Structure 1
Amino acid sequence: MATDTASTDEFEAHRPVLTGVAYRMLGGVADAEDVVQEAWLRWSAADRTDIREPRAYLVRITTRLAIDRLRQAKARRESYVGSWLPEPVVTDFGPAVPDTAERALLADSVSVAVLVVLESLSPLERAVFVLREAFGFPFGEIAVTLERGEAAVRQLAARARRHVEERRPRYDVDPAERRALTERFLAAAGGGDLDALLALLAPDVRLVGDSGGKAKAPLRVIEGADKVGRFLFAVSGEAVLYDFRVMEFNGAPAVLVLAGGVPDLVLQLEIRDGKVECVYIVRNPDKLSGAVLERPSA
């Protein structure tokens, strides 16, 4: 029993990192938890006498399982109804990540915009990017994890980094400014003030909705300040039926909308030059069941 307890404690000590790797790889909380649970089953059944570095061993198992799941999920993603967005996750890096620079790196690597870009990478490229850019694993260790040569891993890393840099938003926004603009956006939309709402939108603003065909949300991307503003204005008439909370999801302020205490949607903004550049709305009920719970994401 003592040995079982020790092995459980060892695994639990590394669970936040494993969950963080799996979530960034898969973009879904339930998928990430399934992978971590499978990693636990393999860990508990393994002969651990020869395992000198449990963290590296567990990350290796988790990464390989996530790669397998990504490959299996490819067909499902291609047939997904409407736009696909990652499952919102409440982020709280806690006292274990006190350094501002490290917090910023972790928040960026779990941001909606970056996770959307990672969807366009191959499973191997995504694994290398996550392990290297988000968690700082050395190339040699990544090579062992992926059973590839170190030179090949470096090439994958360079290709993935170039791809992400070309497609990710190229602007930094102060967290306080982003929260303030989110609250102003919420006040304008919730108050039905179309002029105030339009004043916050960039001319080329985009609205991306993810319902999976299971809830009311636009299936196609809406583009342009007038169209986006009028869409939001039209749906804001139902605001009196809902409760709103500004919380941190995926490393940035977002609006959690509750209907009868149940999560109905999560809305998040991308900001550029003081204007709303993109509006993300997740309304697929399958992606909202854990929206009020804190999830480890470091």
Structure 2
Amino acid sequence: MAEQFVTHRPKLYAIAHRALGSPWGADDAVQEAWLRLQRTDIATIKNLEAWLTTVISRVCIDMIRQQASRREDLDRDSTPEAESSVRTPADGDPSDSLMRIDDLGLAMQVVLDSLGPLERLALVLHDVFALSYDDIAPIVERTPTAARQLASRARARLRAVDVGGIRERQDAAIGAFLDAARNGDFGGLLQLLDPEIELRSDGAAVELATAGADHGAPLLEDSIRGVDAVARVFAGRAELTRLVSIDGAPAAAYVADGTVHAVYLITFVDDRIATLDVLADAERLASLQTVI
């Protein structure tokens, strides 16, 4: 069972990461999927990949709803929609056509919290992982027509995002961050980082940073919070870090000898860097589409 799960784990992580927007949330979702598999008689599962895809999707839906509940927001997808209220998009409706994957990745990052959990999953499963609406329908517990409409609504909302303008601003902000870090410009870093910034690193990234400290790698810890503390981590230490694109969104990566050894997933608040997630785990890196 464990070997079979490991085979599918990268896809499960990728689905969860896309849907939740967090590597740490994706880890929790994959762990929950593993626990559910352990509690199930595998002999009763006809198609393990489809079963795991359904489980990880429903775990993500639960997690998104829990997050929304904690924020005391109304989750519009928490109760079933009347089938009579669902319309099939007209032929040629722009909102029903696929978005470019690189545009979708960045737009999702910007409006993620405004999408309901079922909209997120329908869009991700169809546009990113190429599942048909017939396959998505039982996952989101809707008809294929309703599943198509969920994805279409989400896609229409994402199309309203000025992807080109956002990418240009984020590219410039990350480039300025890397320049300030390389030059040891502490004041410049303070201007580019959100006052409440959090830097989070996985275990592999901490080990990599420790091993490369003499070569200018940032000195990472599991979690560092606050603009002063994070600026000190990077000041004078970014010689091998460069601007890249990850799943369509601007990001940074620690690159040596043409190989990506760690990635920096970045989120913004008001054009300032608000979170930095540093990942070096091989499985995580494999699940990300990194363009140098």
The TM-score bracket by the shorter chain reads 0.5 to 0.7
> More relative contact order in 1 or in 2 (CA 8 Å, sep 6+)?
1
Q: 1:249 to 1:280 in 2, by over 3 A?
A: farther
Q: Deviations over 1:129-171 (max 9, x none)?
A: 1111111110001001111111111111111110111125147
TM-score, reference length from structure 1: 0.58
Q: 1:69 to 1:181 in 2, by over 3 A?
A: closer
Q: Work out whether 1:216 is the aligned partner of 2:226.
A: yes
Aligned to 2:127: 133
Match of 2:274 among 270, 278, 282: 282
Q: 1:190 to 1:49 in 2, by over 3 A?
A: closer
Alignment of 1:1-298 (within 5 A): 7-77=1-71, 107-111=102-106, 113-170=107-164, 183=175, 186-187=178-179, 191=183, 209=194, 211=197, 215-217=225-227, 240-243=235-238, 245-246=241-242, 248=244, 250-251=246-247, 252=249, 254-255=251-252, 279-283=271-275, 288=277, 290-294=278-282, 295=284, 296-297=286-287
Equivalent-residue separation in structure 1 for 2:167 and 2:116 (angstroms): 29
Equivalent-residue separation in structure 2 for 1:31 and 1:237 (angstroms): 27
Identity %: 33
Q: Deviations over 1:38-65 (max 9, x none)?
A: 1111112212223222111101000001
Equivalent-residue separation in structure 2 for 1:162 and 1:266 (angstroms): 25
Q: Does the Cα contact within 8 Å between 2:17 and 2:23 map onto a contact in 1?
A: yes
| Partner-residue secondary structure (3-state), 2:160 | helix
Aligned to 2:82: none
- Paired residue type of 1:211: I
Q: 1:240 to 1:78 in 2, by over 3 A?
A: same
CA RMSD of aligned residues (A): 4.2
Q: Which runs of 5+ in 2 are unaligned?
A: 74-98, 200-223, 255-261
Q: Does the Cα contact within 8 Å between 1:22 and 1:36 map onto a contact in 2?
A: yes
TM-score, reference length from structure 2: 0.59
Q: Does the Cα contact within 8 Å between 1:35 and 1:62 map onto a contact in 2?
A: yes
Equivalent-residue separation in structure 1 for 2:177 and 2:110 (angstroms): 23
Q: 1:173 to 1:68 in 2, by over 3 A?
A: closer
Q: 1:13 to 1:266 in 2, by over 3 A?
A: closer
| Partner-residue secondary structure (3-state), 1:65 | helix
Q: Does the Cα contact within 8 Å between 2:167 and 2:250 map onto a contact in 1?
A: no
Q: Does the Cα contact within 8 Å between 2:183 and 2:236 map onto a contact in 1?
A: no
Q: 1:182 to 1:70 in 2, by over 3 A?
A: closer
How far off its partner does 1:191 sit?
Answer: 4.7
Equivalent-residue separation in structure 2 for 1:51 and 1:279 (angstroms): 47
